C-alpha cells in the first residue's frame, strides 16, 4: 500500500520527519519498505498485513499515525446529500444476502465527464493509480481514502432499471474493462442487469458499461461482498485488483455507506450533475461484539505493569470503546472496521504494539528438562559423520525432480508420488530414489574438471501407498566417480573408484553402527550388488550404465552409485559395547599363495578356509591379489594370511603346522586351488 | 692478575651456558670466552706479567678452565640445531604434497542447522522431526489459517496427486510439527524442529521451491512474551556475536498473537546501513510470537491452561547472512568449489 506524507496530513498533523515517521510506523507493525521523495511530497511504501484491511486506506493509516504520535485524528466532514425529488429509477435485488450483505446504488444525472483536477491526478499517480477521468478517478480516490472500493457504471448502458447481485450462470461470459473475455461460472458473483452480467462483483467492471467521455448518467455502486467468494472468484479468473484485494480482506459496512456519500459529493464538485436516486439493500451497520480483557492477564503476559487507564488511553485512539467492567476487567468494543478483533489476545496485541515491544522486559523461560528421544536423528548424525570421515562430501538436492531425470538415471515405472500443481516440470514428481539427483551433481562437478567426486546425501524418498499417505523413507545415497590420486615419494598412485569402494564404505558404516553381519551379493540378473545386513537387503550398488552416463552427459568417466535404506540400517544399530580381554599370548601368522580359477571369488576362498577352520584360527584375510604373465591364463593368485592364536598358551610349530596344512588342503580340495 | 677469581668465572660459565637457547647465543658465548680477545686469551696473555713462581699454577688453572669450557660447549651444542647454511639432506622432499585423503565435509546448511539446534539444545530444547507430507489440518487449519483466507497467500503450497482420503500437501513451513508435538505431548514442552519445506516459488537468487526451516516451540504454564524475547536474544547473540542488538517488530502470523518479525542489527555495518542490510541497519532473521489460543484449542489443550511461544526461521537466510552468500541456488547446485569453502 502506498500513501503520501501530505495526504496523511489531511487527517492528522504530523510533526515528525518522513524518516522518523517511517521508523515509528515500522515499529508499530506497519513496515515501511521504502520512502520516495516526489515533487515536495514523500511516497511511503507500506507492507500491510492481511489481518488489517482497515490499513488499506489513508484514513486508517492516519488513525494509526495519530495513535502512535499522540495527535488527534481529523475526521473529514462528509456532506450528506439528499436525492432530488423524484422516484429512484432503479431497484436492487440481492439473490443471497450471504454473498452480498450490502448493496447501495446512487444515480447521478447530467454528469460532465472530463479530466480530473491536477491535485487529484497527482495523488492518484503517486500511489500508483492511473488517472482515467473525473468520475472513475473519484471512485479510486475515495477507495484510497476510505478503503472501500466503488464502481461507477454508465447508467444508460445498463439494460434495465434493476440491478441483480447473483451468481453467474454456467456458460455466461463477460468482457471486462481491460478488454479480456472472462468465462464465468456459478462460483463467481456478478452484478447483472436483466440481460447479462455487467461486472464481476468486487473484482472488475464490464467494458460495455464503462464510464467514458460520452457518459451522461452514472450508477455509483458501493457494496460489501463475501470475502471468500471474491477471493475464490478472482483466483479462478486469475485476476487481482485493488478492489478485490480489499474485498477479500474484508470491507467495513459502515464505511461503504460513508464512501458512497463522499464520492457523490466529489463527483458533484468535479463533474457537476445531480443526485437523482439513492437505493440500498442489506444492512448498513455492523456492530461487533464486545471483548472482555483481564488487566492482570495483560500485565502478566507482557511482563509490565500497564495500568487499566493506560490501556484505555492506548485503545481509544485506535477506535475502541473501552469501559471498566470491574476493577480488573475492561469491556472493549471494537470499531466496525476491526473485524479482526474477536478475542482478548487481539486486544493484547494492540496494547503491546502501541506500548512498544521494545519496552517489555527480557527474561528467559524456566525450561523444565524433558528429553524427547530422537534416536533416528542421532544415528543419522552418526551416519553422516562416518561418511564425512570416509571422505564423503555431503550434498543437499531437491526432493522434487523431473520425470525425465528419473528415467534418464535408468529407472522406469510409475511408482512415485506426483505433484498436482508443479510450477515446472523440474517439480513433477517426489523422488522415489536419490540416485538421479546425485548423478546430476556428479555430472555438474565432472563438468567443472573435478578429477574425483565422492558425494553422499541423506534424505527422504517418497513411496506411494495405495489409498494412504505416502511413506517417507530415509535413505543414504552415495555417488563416486573419477580417480583419487596420491603422490607418493616413489611416484603417483592412481586409485580408480569402483564397487569395492562402496563395499568398504558400507563395511565401515556397519562397523561404526555396531553391526557385524554384513554381506554382499552379486545379482546374476543385473549389474547390481545387494548390500545385506544379516538376511535383509538394505541397499544396492551398481556401476552406472553407459546409457545413463550419456543421458547425463558424463564422458570418459565411470560412476558408481549406491543407495542404502538409512532407516533400516539405523534400526539395526546398537550403541551397546562389551569389552573383550586383550590376548595374553602371542599369535602366529602364516601366509599362503593359492592359484585358483578366475571365476572363483576371493570370498569363496575365505569361506572355504572358514569352513575348515581349526579352533586356533583367529583371523583370515586376503592380503594380495595377482593376475598376469606369471600365472596361467584363466587363473589368478591370491595370498591368504591366517592368524593362529590360543587364549591359554603360546602356540608351538607342532600345533600351527598341521592346522595350517588342514586349511590349505580344504581350499585345494573344495576349490581346486593349487599352491604357488 | 694473580687475584683472578677462577671460581667466579667457572660459576658464570655454568650460569650462562644453561641460558643458551640458540646457535647464535652459542657463538656469542664462545667468542666471549674463547675468542681472540676473549677472557681465556686475556688470562693466557697475562701469564708473562705474573711472578715466575705463580705462572705454573695459574697456567694450570687456565687450562682446566679451557677444558671445562670445551666440554660444556660440546655438550650444549648437542642440544642445539645448527643452520649451517647448506641444505641438510632430509629423508624426503618436504616440498612435495602432503599425503592424506581429502577431508569430507557436511553441507553448509547441515552445518548451520547443527549450530542452531545445538544452541537451543544447550538451552534445554529437544530436537524433533515431522513428516514433509502433511494434511491441510496440520499445515493450515490447526494453525489457525483458514483455508480460504488471504493469510494463506504467504503460504502457497504444493499439493499431491494421491488417492488418499485426505487432501495431502508438502508442508509449506515447519509449523505443522507444532501441531503434531502438542497433540502427542502435554506441556511443559521446549522443542526445536528442523526440516525441508516447500513452496511453489519460481527459483531465483533469493527464492527456492524447497528450503530448510527451523521451528521452535515452548509451552508451559506462565510462559510470557518476555521469555520469547530472552530466548531469541540468547540465540541471536550465540550466532552473530554478543555485541549485536535485537528488535521485535509487530507483525501478523495467524498462529501467533502477539506476533513479531525479529531483526538483528547489521553485523557488517553495526547499524549504520550498508548494502547487506539494504541501508536499513537491520537484518530480518526470523518470525515469532505467542502461540494463538485457537492453536491450543485445535490440539486439545484446555482454554487458558497454558501459554507459549513459537518461532520459525529460514536456514538458508541465516547461512547466507553468516557466510555472505548472495544466491540461494548455490546451496542446491552442490558445486564442490562452493561446498569445499565451508
Tens digits of residue pLDDT in A550-583: 999 999 899 999 999 999 999 999 989 899 999 9
Check if the beta carbon of residue A643 is closer than 8 Å to that of residue A621.
Answer: no
**Angle between helix B315-323 and helix B108-122 axes, rounded to 10 deg:** 100
Q: Count of CB atoms within 10 A of residue A178's CB?
A: 11
Query: What is the C-alpha separation between B140 and B131, in angstroms, rounded?
Result: 15
Mean pLDDT, rounded, for A629-653: 92
Element (H, E) at A533: strand A529-533
Q: Select the more confidently predicted residue: B113 or A613.
A: B113
Nearest to A258 by CA among A270, A266, A246: A266
CB contact under 8 A, A50 and B125: no
Q: In the prediction, which pLDDT does B86 show?
A: 64
pLDDT for A394-448, tens place per residue? 999 999 999 999 999 989 888 899 999 998 999 999 999 999 999 999 999 999 9
DSSP, collapsed to helix, strand or coil, labels residue A542 as: strand
Check if the beta carbon of residue B143 is closer than 8 Å to that of residue B175.
Answer: yes
A258-262, B86-90, B287-291: which has the highest mean pLDDT?
B287-291
Nearest to A288 by CA among A348, A220, A223, A334: A334
- In B, which residues are within 8 Å of A393 by CB distance? 104-105, 336, 339-340
Probe site for chain B from A367, A426, A440, A474 (most B CB atoms < 10 A): A367
Shortest Cα distance, chain B CAs vs residue A208, angstroms:
31
Shortest Cα distance, chain B CAs vs residue A459, angstroms:
10
Nearest to A410 by CA among A502, A545, A526: A545
Q: Which residue of B lies nearest to A300 if distances are taken between CA atoms?
A: B224
B332 touches chain A (CB under 8 A): yes
Which band of pLDDT confidence, cut at 50, 70 and 90, is reported for residue B88? low
Check if the beta carbon of residue B199 is closer than 8 Å to that of residue A400.
Answer: no
CA angle A98/A261/A271 to nearest 5° reads 125
Q: Which pairing describes strands A617-626 and A674-675: parallel, antiparallel, or unpaired? A: unpaired
- In B, which residues are within 8 Å of A353 by CB distance? 250, 258
Q: Is the pLDDT of residue B1 over 60?
A: no
A338-367: buried (b, 16+ CB within 10 Å) or exposed (e) per residue? Answer: bbbbeebbbbbbbbbbbbebeebebeebeb
Query: What is the C-alpha separation between A503 and B300, in angstroms, rounded?
Result: 50
Q: Which residue of A lies nearest to B334 if distances are taken between CA atoms?
A: A395
Residue B215 has phi, psi (to 5 degrees) of -110, 140
Residue A665 Cα distances to A258, A594, A641, A645, A669, angstroms:
107, 11, 15, 20, 6
pLDDT for A340-385, tens place per residue? 999 999 999 999 999 999 999 999 998 887 888 899 999 999 999 9
- In A, which residues are within 8 Å of B332 by CB distance? 396-398
Q: Is the pLDDT of residue A80 over 80?
A: no
Shortest Cα distance, chain A CAs vs residue B251, angstroms:
5
Check if the beta carbon of residue A274 is closer than 8 Å to that of residue A225.
Answer: no
Cβ-based contacts under 8 A for chains A and B = 256
- Hey, do A2-69 and A291-359 end up sharing a CATH topology, with the first three levels equal? yes
CA angle B50/B54/B55 to nearest 5° reads 65
Check if the beta carbon of residue A253 is closer than 8 Å to that of residue A285.
Answer: yes
Query: What is the C-alpha separation between A103 and A148, in angstroms, rounded?
Result: 12
Residue A297 class from Cβ within 10 Å (0-12 exposed, 13-18 middle, 19+ buried)? middle
User: What are the start-end ranges of the H helices in A41-84?
Assistant: 58-69
B102 touches chain A (CB under 8 A): yes
Query: What is the C-alpha separation between A482 and A513, in angstroms, rounded?
Result: 28
Cβ neighbours of residue A114 closer than 8 Å, sequence gap 6 or more: A133, A134, A213, A271
Probe site for chain B from A202, A365, A443 (most B CB atoms < 10 A): A365
Query: What is the C-alpha separation between B220 and A307, in angstroms, rounded?
Result: 26
Q: In the prediction, which pLDDT does B84 show?
A: 59
CB contact under 8 A, B104 and A362: no
Q: Which residue of A lies nearest to B197 if distances are taken between CA atoms?
A: A399
Q: In the prediction, which pLDDT does B274 show?
A: 83
pLDDT for A585-627, tens place per residue? 999 999 999 999 998 989 899 989 988 888 999 999 999 998 8
Q: Which CATH superfamily is domain A91-282 in?
A: Phenylalanyl-trna Synthetase, Chain B, domain 3 (3.50.40.10)
Delimit the domains of chain A by residue range: 2-69, 91-282, 291-359, 375-571, 588-675
Q: In the prediction, which pLDDT does B85 show?
A: 61
CB contact under 8 A, A49 and B252: yes
Residue carrying C-alpha cell 479468473: A237
Q: Is the pLDDT of residue A88 over 70?
A: no
Q: Which residue of B lies nearest to A53 if distances are taken between CA atoms?
A: B150
Check if the beta carbon of residue A120 is closer than 8 Å to that of residue A310.
Answer: no
Nearest to A47 by CA among A34, A59, A64: A34
Residue carrying C-alpha cell 699454577: B57
Cβ neighbours of residue A643 closer than 8 Å, sequence gap 6 or more: A587, A588, A589, A617, A618, A619, A620
Q: In the prediction, which pLDDT does A487 show?
A: 85
Q: Is the pLDDT of residue A84 over 80?
A: no
Of A396-410, A623-637, B183-197, the poorest mean pLDDT is in A623-637
- In A, which residues are within 8 Å of B201 by CB distance? 423
CB contact under 8 A, A427 and B168: no
User: For chain B, how are helix, strand and coil distributed in percent, rounded to 5?
Assistant: 40, 20, 40
Q: What is the DSSP letter of A454?
A: E
Query: What is the C-alpha separation between A666 and A660, in angstroms, rounded?
Result: 10
Check if the beta carbon of residue A210 is closer than 8 Å to that of residue B112.
Answer: no
Query: What is the C-alpha separation between A43 and A220, in angstroms, rounded?
Result: 29
Q: Nine-digit cell at A333?
A: 468494543
Of A32-46, A443-457, A522-536, the poorest mean pLDDT is in A522-536
Which band of pLDDT confidence, cut at 50, 70 and 90, is reported for residue A246? very high
Query: What is the C-alpha separation between B65 and B42, in angstroms, rounded?
Result: 13
Shortest Cα distance, chain B CAs vs residue A538, angstroms:
22
DSSP, collapsed to helix, strand or coil, labels residue B87 as: coil
Q: Which CATH superfamily is domain A588-675 in?
A: Ferrodoxin-fold anticodon-binding domain (3.30.70.380)
> Across the strands, what pairs with A588?
A644
Check if the beta carbon of residue B291 is closer than 8 Å to that of residue B320.
Answer: no
B137 touches chain A (CB under 8 A): no
Query: What is the C-alpha separation between A62 and A57, in angstroms, rounded?
Result: 9
Residue A518 has phi, psi (to 5 degrees) of -110, 135
Query: What is the C-alpha separation between A589 and A650, in angstroms, rounded?
Result: 13
- What is the C-alpha radius of gyration for chain B, rounded to an integer number of angstroms? 38
Q: Is the pLDDT of residue B2 over 70?
A: no
Q: Count of CB atoms within 10 A of residue A305's CB?
A: 11
Q: Which fold has domain A291-359?
A: Phenylalanyl-tRNA Synthetase; Chain B, domain 1 (3.30.56)
Shortest Cα distance, chain B CAs vs residue A53, angstroms:
11
Query: What is the C-alpha separation between B304 and B293, in angstroms, rounded?
Result: 8
B132 touches chain A (CB under 8 A): yes
Helices and strands (H, E) in chain A, number of each type:
19, 32
Q: Which CATH superfamily is domain A375-571 in?
A: Bira Bifunctional Protein; Domain 2 (3.30.930.10)
Query: What is the C-alpha separation between A504 and A510, in angstroms, rounded?
Result: 10
CA angle A329/A331/A337 to nearest 5° reads 145
Q: What is the DSSP letter of A102?
A: E
ipTM: 0.88
- In B, which residues are within 8 Å of A414 by CB distance? none
Mean pLDDT, rounded, for B172-185: 95
Chain A residues 555-594 with CB within 8 Å of chain B: none
A357 touches chain B (CB under 8 A): yes
Chain B residues 4-63 with CB within 8 Å of chain A: none
Q: What is the 3-state secondary structure (H, E, C) of A191-210?
A: EECCCCEEEECCCEEEHHHC
Query: What is the C-alpha separation between A129 and A122, in angstroms, rounded?
Result: 9
Shortest Cα distance, chain A CAs vs residue B263, angstroms:
11
Q: Is the dihedral of CA A506, A507, A512, A517 positive or negative?
A: positive
Peptide bond into B258 cis (omega under 30): yes
Which band of pLDDT confidence, cut at 50, 70 and 90, is reported for residue B216? very high
Half-sphere exposure of A308 (CA within 13 A, CB side): 17
Q: Is the pLDDT of residue A146 over 80?
A: yes
B110 touches chain A (CB under 8 A): yes
- In B, which residues are within 8 Å of A469 by CB distance? 131, 133, 162, 164, 166, 168
Query: What is the C-alpha separation between A100 and A534, in angstroms, rounded?
Result: 69
B134 touches chain A (CB under 8 A): no
Q: Which pairing describes strands A617-626 and A635-644: parallel, antiparallel, or unpaired? A: antiparallel
pTM for this model (two decimals): 0.85
Element (H, E) at A348: helix A344-355
Q: In the prediction, which pLDDT does A532 show?
A: 93
Q: Nine-digit cell at A631?
A: 600365472
pLDDT for A225-240, tens place per residue? 999 999 999 999 999 9
B209: nearest CB among A389, A392, A427:
A427
Cβ neighbours of residue B160 closer than 8 Å, sequence gap 6 or more: A417, A418, A419, A420, A430, A470, B133, B168, B169, B170
A369 touches chain B (CB under 8 A): yes
Q: A2-69 has which CATH code? A: 3.30.56.10
- In A, which residues are within 8 Å of B257 by CB distance? 345-346, 348-349
Peptide bond into A335 cis (omega under 30): no
**Angle between helix A18-27 and helix A58-69 axes, rounded to 10 deg:** 90
User: What are the start-end ranges of the H helices in B143-224?
Assistant: 176-184
CB contact under 8 A, A396 and B189: no
Mean pLDDT, rounded, for B80-94: 69
Query: What is the C-alpha separation between A257 and A90, in angstroms, rounded?
Result: 18
pLDDT for A528-544, tens place per residue? 899 999 899 999 999 99
Q: Nine-digit cell at A195?
A: 440481460
Element (H, E) at A277: strand A274-282
Amino acid at each position: 500500500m502506498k500513501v503520501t506524507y501530505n495526504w496523511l496530513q489531511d487527517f492528522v498533523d504530523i510533526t515528525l520527519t518522513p524518516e522518523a515517521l517511517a521508523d515509528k510506523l515500522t515499529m508499530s507493525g506497519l513496515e515501511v519498505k521504502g520512502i520516495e521523495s516526489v515533487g515536495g511530497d514523500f511516497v511511503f511504501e507500506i507492507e500491510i498485513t492481511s489481518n488489517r484491511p482497515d490499513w488499506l486506506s489513508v484514513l486508517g493509516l492516519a488513525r494509526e499515525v495519530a495513535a502512535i504520535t499522540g495527535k488527534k485524528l481529523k475526521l473529514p466532514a462528509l456532506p450528506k446529500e439528499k436525492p432530488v425529488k423524484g422516484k429512484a429509477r432503479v431497484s436492487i435485488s440481492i439473490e443471497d444476502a450471504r454473498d452480498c450483505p450490502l448493496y447501495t446504488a446512487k444515480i447521478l444525472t447530467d454528469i460532465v465527464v472530463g479530466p480530473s483536477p491536477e491535485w487529484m491526478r497527482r495523488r492518484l499517480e503517486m500511489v500508483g493509480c492511473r488517472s482515467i477521468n473525473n468520475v472513475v478517478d473519484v471512485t479510486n480516490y475515495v477507495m484510497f481514502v476510505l478503503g472501500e472500493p466503488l464502481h461507477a457504471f454508465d447508467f444508460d448502458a445498463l439494460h434495465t432499471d434493476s440491478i441483480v447481485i447473483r451468481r453467474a450462470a454456467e456458460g455466461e461470459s463477460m468482457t471486462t474493462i481491460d478488454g479480456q473475455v472472462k468465462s464465468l461460472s456459478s462460483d463467481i458473483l456478478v452484478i447483472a442487469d436483466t440481460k447479462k452480467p455487467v461486472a464481476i462483483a468486487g473484482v472488475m467492471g464490464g467494458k460495455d458499461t464503462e464510464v467514458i467521455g460520452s457518459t451522461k448518467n452514472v450508477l455509483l455502486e458501493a457494496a460489501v461482498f463475501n470475502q471468500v467468494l471474491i477471493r475464490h472468484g478472482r483466483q479462478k479468473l486469475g485476476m487481482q485488483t485493488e478492489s478485490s484485494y480489499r474485498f477479500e480482506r474484508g470491507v467495513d459496512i459502515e464505511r461503504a455507506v460513508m464512501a458512497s456519500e463522499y464520492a457523490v459529493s466529489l463527483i458533484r464538485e468535479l463533474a457537476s450533475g445531480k443526485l437523482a436516486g439513492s437505493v440500498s439493500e442489506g444492512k448498513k451497520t455492523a456492530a461487533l461484539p464486545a471483548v472482555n480483557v483481564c488487566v492482570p492477564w495483560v500485565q502478566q503476559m507482557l511482563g509490565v505493569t500497564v495500568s487499566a487507564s493506560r490501556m484505555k488511553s492506548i485503545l481509544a485512539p485506535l477506535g475502541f470503546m473501552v469501559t471498566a467492567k470491574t476493577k480488573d476487567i475492561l469491556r472493549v468494543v471494537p470499531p466496525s472496521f476491526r473485524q479482526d478483533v474477536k478475542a482478548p489476545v487481539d486486544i493484547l496485541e494492540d496494547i503491546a504494539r502501541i506500548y512498544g515491544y521494545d519496552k517489555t522486559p527480557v527474561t528467559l523461560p524456566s525450561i523444565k528438562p524433558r528429553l524427547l528421544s530422537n534416536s533416528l536423528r542421532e544415528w543419522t548424525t552418526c551416519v553422516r559423520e562416518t561418511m564425512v570421515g570416509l571422505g564423503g562430501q555431503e550434498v543437499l538436492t531437491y526432493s522434487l525432480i523431473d520425470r525425465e531425470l528419473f528415467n534418464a538415471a535408468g529407472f522406469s515405472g510409475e511408482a512415485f508420488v506426483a505433484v498436482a500443481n508443479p510450477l515446472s516440470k523440474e517439480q513433477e514428481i517426489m523422488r522415489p530414489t536419490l540416485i538421479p539427483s546425485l548423478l546430476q551433481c556428479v555430472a555438474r562437478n565432472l563438468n567443472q574438471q573435478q578429477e574425483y567426486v565422492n558425494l553422499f546425501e541423506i534424505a527422504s524418498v517418497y513411496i506411494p501407498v495405495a489409498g494412504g499417505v505416502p511413506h517417507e523413507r530415509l535413505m543414504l545415497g552415495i555417488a563416486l566417480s573419477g580417480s583419487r590420486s596420491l603422490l607418493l615419494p616413489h611416484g603417483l598412485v592412481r586409485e580408480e573408484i569402483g564397487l569395492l569402494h562402496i563395499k568398504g564404505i558400507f563395511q565401515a558404516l556397519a562397523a561404526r553402527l555396531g553391526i557385524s553381519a554384513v554381506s554382499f551379493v552379486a545379482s546374476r540378473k543385473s549389474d547390481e550388488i545387494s548390500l545385506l545386513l544379516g538376511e535383509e537387503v538394505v541397499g544396492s550398488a551398481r556401476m552406472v550404465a553407459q546409457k545413463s552416463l550419456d543421458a547425463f552427459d558424463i564422458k570418459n568417466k565411470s560412476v558408481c552409485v549406491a543407495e542404502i535404506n538409512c532407516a533400516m540400517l539405523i534400526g539395526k544399530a546398537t550403541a551397546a559395547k562389551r569389552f573383550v580381554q586383550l590376548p595374553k599370548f602371542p599369535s602366529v601368522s602364516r601366509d599362503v599363495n593359492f592359484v585358483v580359477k578366475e571365476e572363483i571369488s576371493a570370498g569363496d576362498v575365505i569361506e572355504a578356509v572358514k569352513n575348515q577352520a581349526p579352533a586356533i584360527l583367529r583371523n583370515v584375510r586376503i592380503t594380495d591379489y595377482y593376475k598376469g604373465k606369471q600365472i596361467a591364463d584363466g587363473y589368478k593368485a591370491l595370498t591368504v594370511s591366517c592368524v593362529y592364536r590360543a587364549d591359554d598358551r603360546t602356540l608351538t610349530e607342532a600345533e600351527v603346522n598341521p592346522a595350517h596344512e588342514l586349511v590349505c588342503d580344504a581350499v585345494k580340495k573344495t576349490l581346486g586351488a593349487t599352491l604357488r | 692478575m694473580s687475584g683472578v677469581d677462577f671460581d667466579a668465572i667457572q660459576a658464570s660459565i655454568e650460569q650462562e651456558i644453561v641460558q643458551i637457547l640458540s646457535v647464535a647465543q652459542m657463538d656469542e658465548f664462545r667468542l666471549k670466552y674463547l675468542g681472540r680477545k676473549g677472557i681465556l686469551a686475556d688470562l693466557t696473555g697475562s701469564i708473562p706479567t705474573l711472578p715466575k713462581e705463580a705462572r705454573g699454577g695459574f697456567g694450570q688453572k687456565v687450562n682446566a678452565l679451557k677444558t671445562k669450557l670445551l666440554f660444556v660447549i660440546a655438550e650444549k651444542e648437542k642440544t642445539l640445531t645448527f643452520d649451517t647454511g647448506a641444505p641438510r639432506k632430509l629423508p624426503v622432499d618436504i616440498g612435495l604434497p602432503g599425503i592424506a585423503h581429502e577431508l569430507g565435509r557436511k553441507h553448509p546448511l547441515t552445518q548451520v542447522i547443527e549450530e542452531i539446534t545445538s544452541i537451543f539444545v544447550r538451552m534445554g530444547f529437544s530436537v524433533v522431526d515431522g513428516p514433509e507430507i502433511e494434511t491441510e489440518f496440520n499445515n493450515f487449519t490447526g494453525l489457525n489459517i483458514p483455508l480460504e483466507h488471504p493469510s494463506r497467500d504467504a503460504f502457497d503450497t504444493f499439493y499431491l496427486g494421491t488417492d488418499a482420503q485426505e487432501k495431502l500437501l508438502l508442508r509449506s513451513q515447519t509449523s505443522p510439527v507444532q501441531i503434531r508435538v502438542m497433540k502427542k505431548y502435554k506441556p511443559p514442552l521446549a522443542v526445536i524442529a528442523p526440516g525441508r519445506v516447500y513452496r511453489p516459488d519460481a527459483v531465483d537468487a533469493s527464492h527456492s521451491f524447497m528450503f530448510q526451516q527451523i521451528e521452535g516451540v515452548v509451552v508451559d504454564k506462565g510462559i510470557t512474551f518476555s521469555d520469547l524475547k530472552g530466548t531469541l536474544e540468547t540465540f541471536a547473540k550465540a550466532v552473530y556475536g554478543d555485541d549485536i542488538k535485537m528488535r521485535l517488530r509487530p507483525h501478523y502470523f495467524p498462529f501467533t498473537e502477539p506476533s513479531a518479525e525479529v531483526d538483528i542489527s547489521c553485523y557488517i555495518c553495526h547499524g549504520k546501513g550498508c548494502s547487506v542490510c539494504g541501508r536499513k541497519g537491520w537484518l530480518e532473521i526470523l518470525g515469532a510470537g505467542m502461540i494463538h489460543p485457537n492453536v491450543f484449542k485445535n490440539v486439545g489443550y484446555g482454554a487458558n491452561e497454558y501459554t507459549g511461544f513459537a518461532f520459525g526461521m529460514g536456514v538458508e537466510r541465516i547461512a547466507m547472512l553468516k557466510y555472505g552468500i548472495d544466491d540461494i541456488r548455490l546451496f542446491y547446485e552442490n558445486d564442490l568449489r562452493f561446498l569445499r569453502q565451508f
